[in-house]
A and B are shown apart, each in its own frame.
Chain A
Amino acid sequence: MVRDVITIRRLQKYFSEFHALKDIDLSVREGEVIAILGPSGSGKSTLVRCIHQLEPIQGGAIYLGDELLGYERTRSGLRNLSDSAVARQRARMGMVFQQFNLFQHKTVLENLIEGPTQVMGMKRHEAEAQARDLLARVHLSDKADSYPRQLSGGQQQRAAIARAMANRPAVMLFDEPTSALDPELVGEVLEVIREIAATGVTMLIVTHEIRFARDVADRIIFMEDGRIVEDGPTRQIMSAPADTRLGSFLARSM
């Protein structure tokens, strides 16, 4: 039986008065690769940041597997989890940011062992061995001892992808992983994501690369104005008639 890795029910997100996510319902099955498309400002980043608990939510619920994220049930209702409990939940997801956000004062290898040694309780030499395996997977074996500044954007992002996998997460979240890159560096990063997707890792990818989404995603979600307005298998979404909003978005983005 295929399990749901992430379940979202009637999620509401506000930035003070502004209703940024409205009634989001979503289930992500194990091994599924989902691309999230939509115009800028439609709430894509906010959605993945809420899943990763980098933003508090104001309504609804998010589950990782069977576990409610961010709250515990008490007799008097839900109560916020402690910081360390939230941190443990975050460690079970990997996130890749648009701006890479590698720790600037640490080498690539140190970036990769931070989570395993500080959070997962792994021994340093084990963590380093695992980090070297991961670096090989993103084709950066020779950069283990480099500092982020010494790397190109594409190399930084590949290192960040490796770091996000270091805790062996149940799901990988990508927020526009190639939007900050020079055009000639986009390909190498997409290629790495494609390779990882092929190994059966569950992924949620916010992207503007429509062709990449079509190739790699099993399912596509289209967001507009804080809502999920389309959600379906890639082939079905991609064949949207040009006179629909989705169709015209796709036509514009190609």
Chain B
Amino acid sequence: MATGIGRNTAAVEGPAASDDAAQAVPRGRTRRWILTAVVGAFLLYLVVAAARNPRFEWDIVGRYMFSDLVLEGLVTSLSLTAMLLVFGVLLGTLIGLARASDFAPLRGFAWTFTWFFRAVPPLVQLLLWYNLAYLIPEITLSIPFGPEILSVNANDLISPFTAAVLGLGLLESAYMAEIIRAGLGSVDRGQTDAALSVGLSRRKTFFRIVLPQSMRFIIPPMGSQAILLLKATSLVSIIGLSDLLHTVQAIYNRTLEVVPLLMVATIWYLILVSILSVGQIALERRYSRSFAERKAAVREDLV
């Protein structure tokens, strides 16, 4: 009884000498070609349309792409990203460790920290820190019911830059803390047992055995976090910090060349994020291989 035989398919019964999977024709090849052509044509249309639309004013885009002001804004965005990353890793490590601690109050504090800073949107946090000066006009350090030790005007303390570092940095540490906690938790419990068993102290167990092995779980998500962070820094334009976005806004407020200048920012963000993404993919590749293979490969390179 012939079942499941398609319209154009000849019924085959028993082995035949000519059967060879290497000679098989893949299915759906034509369909893929058509789809590729349609998508390609559409993309081409978009590029051509954008290039030929005079309102994009590409000559203006070209003029501002490498102008000093824009490059300065770019540097501000990049250094802010780098600073926030360092801040986030340092504070995030502490919070992440506190989260993994067996001391309940510490764990509770760390939990509250992560909960709060992850729940409040970054834009709100930026505005909150920036406007802290209005909420608490004076930041005062004093002994309760005793004399004042130190008093600073919050307006002096909270510059746009500090507001940016706090507004995005605390949030960043909260995410980093989660990444670090998860990474530490991914290392098999038996590794700790074995480390204690050979006589290592708890501190050495952590730094020599657990932390190095958690790195392959920690580094790749930190890479994606860096990309998110770079994009998030564009939010600081709202509090007047001269990052890339704020710089182009400042220029188009004067010249009214809104779209071309936004294109300048767009292109720069595309370039930077693409570079970071390539790095991120490399990191992921590197860390998804086992330690063993990686170190063995390094060794072979050295020979």
Contacts and interface: CB of A to CB of B under 8 A. Distances in A.
Contacts of B78: none
Contacts of A217: none
Contacts of A91: 198-199
Interface in A72-119: 83-84, 87-88, 90-91, 93-95, 97, 99, 101-105, 107, 114-115, 118-119
Residue from A118, A120, A150 with most neighbouring chain B CB atoms (10 Å): A118
Contacts of A87: 196, 199-202
Nearest to B203: A83
A52 B295 CA distance: 32
Interface stretch (A161-169, A187-195, A227-235, A238-246): A161-169
B8 interface: no
A160 B190 CA distance: 12
Q: How large is the interface on A (under 10, 10 to 19, 20 to 34, 35 or more residues)?
A: 35 or more
A90 B197 CA distance: 6
A147 B296 contact: yes
Interface residues of B, number: 24
Given A105-B291, A147-B291, A149-B290, A54 B198 contact: no
23 contacts: A87-B196, A87-B201, A94-B197, A97-B190, A97-B197, A99-B188, A99-B190, A101-B197, A103-B191, A104-B191, A104-B213, A104-B292, A105-B213, A114-B195, A114-B198, A114-B200, A114-B208, A115-B200, A118-B198, A149-B291, A163-B198, A164-B197, A167-B199
A177 interface: no
A163 B291 CA distance: 20
Contacts of A43: none
Contacts of B204: 118
B198 A147 contact: no
B194 A103 contact: yes
Interface string B199-227: 11111100011001100000000000000
A166 B291 contact: no
A81 to B, nearest CB: 12
B190 A103 contact: no
A185 to B, nearest CB: 19
